[in-house]
């Protein structure tokens, strides 16, 4: 009896072999993620949305040097620095980041910017939900990127901790805002100082009698 040609045998076996792959996959652990109903925890060093950090008293770590912007391969960062004054201080040293923007339509979350930052002002969080249908909304401003206030912090602008200098901040000698520290008036942002009357009370709250 003549033997069946090899090609005919393979033609019959190939579809069966294909189903074998399907059967094997049916008994494997499912990899489907039920996002967004079930959020998965990211790796601790995941590169997510950026954050502009503060010193323990609330002053900002960013000195407006633009090194992060120069390091960025996607040209996603825009920084404008400005001088601090004693009346309006945002960081312990001479300069601070007046304007800070990251364009997440450009950013590839590579992390080169945080490596370039000399003050550890810029780090990355684990937040990854950055999608938006508007390009304008993808440009995050300094106000959106600035870290919130922890205990012992006062919002900027405010005075440097008395008796310290910028170096002391980086040595870790300032651990909280000095007692009585108050937020200064941000005149450069259009805030108007509250005028006081002769009684020392804010305008419109003159003492009776």
Answer for which of 82, 105, 116, 139 binds ligand SF4 (CB under 6 A) is 116
Whether 162 has a binding-site annotation, put simply, is no
- Name the residue nearer to ligand SF4 (CB basis): 105 or 178: 105
The answer to whether residue 108 forms part of the interface with ligand SF4 (CB under 6 A) is yes
Answer for which of 117, 145, 159, 177 binds ligand SF4 (CB under 6 A) is 117
Could you say which residues in the range 118-147 bind ligand SF4, by CB under 6 A? 119, 121-122
Stretch that binds ligand SF4, among 30-38, 59-67, 125-133, 158-166 (CB under 6 A): 59-67
Could you say which residues in the range 72-91 bind ligand SF4, by CB under 6 A? 72, 74, 76-77, 79
Find tokens 């391969």 and name the residue: 73
d(CA 80, CA 65): 8
Q: Per the structure block, which two tokens stand in for 132?
A: 């938006």
d(CA 121, CA 114): 8
d(CA 51, CA 53): 6
Find tokens 């305008």 and name the residue: 203
List interacting residues with ligand SF4 (CB under 6 A).
Answer: 62-68, 71-72, 74, 76-77, 79, 97, 102, 107-113, 116-117, 119, 121-122
């Amino acid at each position: 009896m003549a033997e069946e040609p090899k090609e005919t045998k393979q033609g019959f076996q190939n579809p069966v072999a294909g189903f074998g792959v399907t059967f094997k996959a049916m008994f494997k652990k499912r990899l489907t993620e039920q996002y967004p109903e079930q959020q998965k925890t990211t790796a601790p060093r995941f590169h997510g949305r950026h954050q502009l950090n503060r010193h323990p008293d609330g002053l900002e770590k960013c000195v407006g040097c633009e090194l992060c912007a120069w390091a960025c391969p996607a040209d996603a960062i825009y920084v404008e620095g400005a001088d601090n004054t004693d009346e309006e201080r945002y960081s312990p040293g001479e300069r601070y980041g007046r304007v800070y923007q990251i364009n997440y339509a450009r950013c590839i979350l590579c992390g080169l910017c945080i490596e370039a930052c000399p003050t550890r002002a810029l780090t990355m969080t684990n937040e990854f939900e950055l999608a938006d249908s508007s390009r304008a909304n993808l440009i995050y401003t300094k106000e959106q990127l600035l870290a919130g206030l922890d205990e012992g912090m006062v919002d900027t602008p405010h005075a440097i901790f008395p008796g310290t200098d910028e170096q002391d901040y980086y040595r870790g000698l300032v651990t909280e805002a000095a007692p009585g520290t108050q937020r200064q008036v941000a005149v450069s942002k259009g805030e108007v100082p509250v005028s006081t009357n002769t009684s020392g009370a804010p305008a419109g709250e003159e003492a009776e009698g």
